[in-house]
């Protein structure tokens, strides 16, 4: 059965095992061999990252086609307005197209571990929190969405992917699960698809068949 790792990725850690620039990577925290990240989480974002040793499960989690819903707790600059929340729910026009409607709600400040380094505090500018659930995975999508409605992201923590929850894992901690592999997709043959056989099948009309038989009898 596949192994699945739930990892709380700290801030400023790459979602990969190697880096030629010497930055912190998954290898600094995870000792299990033969596992790979299913999807990614930005270098300066925190929270739940899934890893597995099963390619089929990795694809099922990471590929946008499967629409695994991802839940983020986002601290933004400013007191986010109801109008901005409504825009996020409806869809935001970004450079790479319109986002799908998101599930969005204002959130009381959650009880989280202190970030290292901490978010810069500015007394004259308030901050607020919002929960955003999306089922697509464009590059830095949540940050671009909040910036587009006038409330830049200051801190971003992913707390869930599908049914998998971050729960009480602290930064740098992980737990391992044994899970069932997803069912393989059924392959439906197209009506136009011809399945080749070891020998080609040749069909003759009755007239051509009789002619062939006559030639065969005529051979010495």
The most confident of the ranges 25-39, 60-74, 169-183, 200-214 is 25-39
Which tens digit of pLDDT belongs to each residue from 113-122?
Answer: 999 999 988 8
20 included as an active-site residue: no
Q: How far is CA 128 from the centre of its chain?
A: 26
Range list for CATH 3.30.70.580 in the chain: 1-66+162-183
CB 2 within 8 A of CB 55: no
DSSP 192-207: TPPPP-SS------HH
Section 64-72 average pLDDT: 83
Q: Which two tokens stand for residue 64?
A: 């946008």
SS3 per-residue string spanning 58-98: HHHHHCHHHCCCEEEEEEEECCCCHHHHHHHHHCCEECCEE
Q: Is the pLDDT of residue 212 over 50?
A: no
| Location of each CATH 3.30.70.1560 domain in the chain | 69-160
User: Which residue among 20, 42, 53, 82 is the active-site one?
Assistant: 42
Tens digit of pLDDT for each residue in 153-179? 999 999 999 999 999 999 999 999 988
Please report, to the nearest 10 degrees, the dihedral formed by the alpha carbons of residues 55, 60, 61, 65 taken in order: 140
Angle formed at CA 51 by CA 147 and CA 32, multiple of 5 degrees? 135
Residue 116 · residue 170 · CB < 8 Å: no
Please give the CATH number for the structural domain made up of 1-66+162-183: 3.30.70.580
Q: Is the pTM of this model over 0.85?
A: no
Distance CA 71, CA 135 (A): 9
Counting residues of the chain whose pLDDT is more than 70, the rounded percentage is 81
Fold (topology level) of 69-160: Alpha-Beta Plaits (3.30.70)
Distances in Å between the Cα of 117 and the Cα atoms of 9, 114, 120, 168, 205 are: 14, 8, 9, 21, 82
| Average pLDDT along the chain | 85
């Amino acid at each position: 059965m596949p192994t699945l790792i739930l990892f709380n990725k700290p801030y400023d850690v790459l979602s990969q095992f190697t880096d030629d620039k010497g930055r912190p990577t998954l290898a600094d925290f995870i000792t299990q061999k033969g596992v790979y990240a299913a999807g990614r989480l930005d270098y300066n974002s925190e929270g739940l990252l899934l890893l597995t040793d099963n390619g089929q499960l990795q694809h099922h989690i990471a590929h946008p086609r499967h629409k695994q819903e991802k839940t983020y707790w986002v601290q933004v600059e400013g007191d986010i307005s109801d109008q901005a929340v409504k825009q996020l729910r409806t869809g935001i026009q970004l450079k790479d197209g319109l986002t799908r409607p998101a599930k969005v709600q204002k959130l009381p400040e959650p009880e989280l571990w202190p970030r290292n380094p901490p978010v810069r505090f500015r007394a004259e500018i308030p901050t607020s929190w919002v929960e955003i659930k999306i089922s697509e995975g464009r590059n830095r999508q949540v940050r671009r969405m909040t910036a587009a409605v006038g409330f830049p992201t200051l801190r971003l923590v992913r707390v869930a992917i599908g049914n998998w929850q971050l729960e009480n894992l602290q930064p740098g901690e992980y737990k391992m699960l044994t899970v069932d592999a997803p069912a393989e997709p059924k392959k439906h043959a197209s009506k136009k698809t011809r399945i080749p056989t070891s020998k080609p099948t040749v069909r003759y009309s009755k007239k051509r068949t009789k002619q062939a038989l006559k030639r065969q009898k005529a051979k010495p």
